[in-house]
Structure 1
Amino acid sequence: MKNVEKLGNMDKTRYDSYYETKKHSDIMYAYTVYPCTIPQDFSFVPLHWQDSFEIIYVKKGTGYIQIDLSTFQAESGDIFVVLPGHLHGLRKFEDSRMEYENIIFDKSFLGNDVVDACSQKYLQPLLEEKLYFPVRIRRGQKMYEKLSGFLDSADVLSDQKPWGYELGVKGYIQLFFSQLFAMSREKKHHGLENKSMEKMKSVISYMEENYDGKITVEDVAAECGYSTSHFMRWFKEMTGTGFGNYLIEFRLGKAAHALRTTEATVLEIAEQSGFGNLSNFNRLFKKKYKMTPGMFRKR
């Protein structure tokens, strides 16, 4: 993740503290696959970033996937490649269901910690934003069959775990990236885009730190150094939705997680998630999840 000296009124220490730091794998085998379903597992995955690679492999259905400034209506078979440090998030599309795999692995899995020709010629330029390749690969596109085949083969080995499967999985992922690098191009930096990305990270970090209390549009706009009206337009361009709606989705996601994982009362969870009014929380929760918080917890 790049160093950021100052973003609006937020200092670098706080900014660096609010990206995803969860360790998804064993340091000796830095590769993990999570099967997920929207909206059954998550109806909304807010924008976030981490210091690892992530491949989102859509198995069935459709949903929205945002990577950096681009939002896609994902379809069955789509493959999305998220590089370290890049924003990404997911949300449901209307009443549709989407099943997908989150394939997450550390940079070391591709040999980034080894100084050799592969690292210097491919991985370092990619991580330094000097190279790019398409973030979305779809059925019918060149090399799709090879790329999806490598992921499917890695899945089979991960499921069956024969002797030596770790070497096989690493080999398939390296073959996957070798095909992507064959499609890569030199990247020309866009200063305005990079600036927007860093400002969005500051907004996400601010919400993570303050979602349990009062958050005003004026406060968040000040974090970016924008006027309120400019911030509202900019945020909708970045995310496809208004800030108020996004904040409600964010808080409801926190509440749903607390209902699953804690013994706190519904009132306590509502307050801890930033909802000062219990009846309003119950109404918004039922509208989103089609059931009351109590029913959600029992289910």
Structure 2
Amino acid sequence: MKAHQQKELLHSNSPLNMFFTDVSEFPPHWHEVAEMIYVPQGSLRVGVNNEIYKLEPRDILLITDGDVHYFVPEAERTNRLILHFSMSFFESAFPAAKNKCFARSIWKESEAGVHNLLEEQITAIIGEYCAKGDACEIAMRARLLDILVLLARNVPMQPYSPQKRIRRLNRLERLENVFAYVENNYCSDISLPEISSLANFSEYYFTRFFKEATGMTFGSYLSNYRVEKAAQLLRDTNDTITEVAFKSGFGSIKNFNRVFKQIKGCSPSIYKKTISEE
């Protein structure tokens, strides 16, 4: 059985970092850093706020800091390189960027220009990592700085006032509380009134708030989260289908089978059999 992998390429607490991963179970989340995703091969769907982006081989997606994003679960695992860089670090080197953020951008493999320049730096980073030569970490960081120069010269920046940032962080804090609550309580019943109260909203406004922030309803998010937890148990334990269903928060086997097949495209038993044969 193949385990999901996430391998950091740089190991220190740095304003610039990067890692390889094939993990698909990232629920909606956000960072105070910008994120760039590069797909060497395969395909990947990424949800950002209320939009879905389909990434094909060699596509590059830039997600600005504070954007809520997630990976849409796929039957096939897709390895990707993820770059994180702090906007405060960028501002210190480029004062014109103060109180601004990059516009979300996607570069398709079919495009030339900026895509090819970015990919050249990204593949150089991968090459340095694989070669593991002298000073490879310094070389990788240097390539990351080259990427920041390309972004500064080619990607529009949007005004981002301190007041707007505070409002956005307050909004994201409410969302983070919801994510944390689901993480800790997904195996129990979670009602709409309960989660709305946690976020300090009426049910009506919470429903609108969550859909606008994540692009999905809370019910859909909860079902996806539970199915990914169930898939993890099916991969990594010898629990029966019934045990997995109840440990994942499903109240009945019938509902578990229906929702799992709807999201994964196959029944839990077929999923477990397929994974065990890999």
TM range (shorter): 0.7 to 0.9
Conserved? CA contact 1:285–1:293, under 8 Å: yes
Q: 1:87 aligns with which of 68, 79, 104?
A: 68
- Give the conservation status (yes or no) of the 8 Å contact 2:18–2:82: yes
Distance 1:106 1:137, change over 3 A: closer
Give the distance between the partners of 1:239 and 1:204, measured in 2 at CA: 11
* Counterpart mapping for 1:1-299 below 5 A: 24=8, 27-28=11-12, 31-36=17-22, 42=24, 45-50=26-31, 54-60=35-41, 63-67=44-48, 69-76=49-56, 77-82=58-63, 86-91=67-72, 99=78, 101-104=80-83, 120-122=92-94, 130-139=99-108, 140=111, 143-182=114-153, 183=155, 185=157, 187-189=159-161, 190=164, 193-298=168-273, 299=275
Return the alpha-carbon distance in structure 2 between the equivalents of residues 201 and 168 of structure 1.
Answer: 35
Residues in 2 aligned to 1:165 and 1:103: alpha-carbon distance in whole angstroms: 18
Q: 1:242 to 1:275 in 2, by over 3 A?
A: same
Q: Is the 8 A contact 1:266 1:294 kept in 2?
A: yes
Is the 2:101–2:160 contact (alpha carbons within 8 Å) kept by the matching residues of 1?
Answer: no
Q: Which moved more, 1:83-92 or 1:236-245?
A: 83-92
Distance 2:30 2:236 in 1: 23
- In the alignment, the residues of structure 2 paired with residue 296 and residue 165 of structure 1 have an alpha-carbon distance, to the nearest angstrom, of 40
The one-letter code of the counterpart of 1:185 is: M
Structure 2 unaligned residues grouped into runs of 5+: 1-5
CA distance in 1, matches of 2:26, 2:62: 16
Which blocks of at least 5 consecutive residues in structure 1 are unaligned? 1-21, 113-117
Amino acid of the residue matched to residue 33 of structure 1?
A: F
CA apart distance, 1:251? 0.5
Paired residue secondary structure (1:47):
coil
State TM-score, norm by structure 2. Answer: 0.76
- What secondary structure sits across from 2:19 in the alignment? strand
Query: Do the aligned partners of 1:199 and 1:224 also contact (CA within 8 Å) in 2?
Result: yes
Aligned equivalent of 1:7: none
Contact 2:30 2:67 in 1 (8 A): yes
2:3: which partner in 1? Answer: none
- Alignment partner, residue 16 of structure 1: none
Aligned-partner Cα distance in 2 for 1:105–1:237: 24
29 and 235 in structure 1: CA distance in 2 versus 1, 3 angstrom threshold: closer
TM-score norm. by structure 1 comes to 0.71
Deviations 1:123-148 (A, max 9, x none): 9x97xx72311332314476332112
Deviations 1:225-256 (A, max 9, x none): 22112222332222222221221111001111
Give the SS at the match of 1:64: strand
Per-residue CA deviation, residues 48-104 of structure 1 (Å, 9 max, x unaligned), is 23576642113456543233x3524233343223466653212159x9x78451325
Q: Quick one: which amino acid aligns to residue 244 of structure 2?
A: I
Secondary structure in 2 aligned to 1:281? helix
Q: Offset of 1:218 from its aligned partner?
A: 0.7
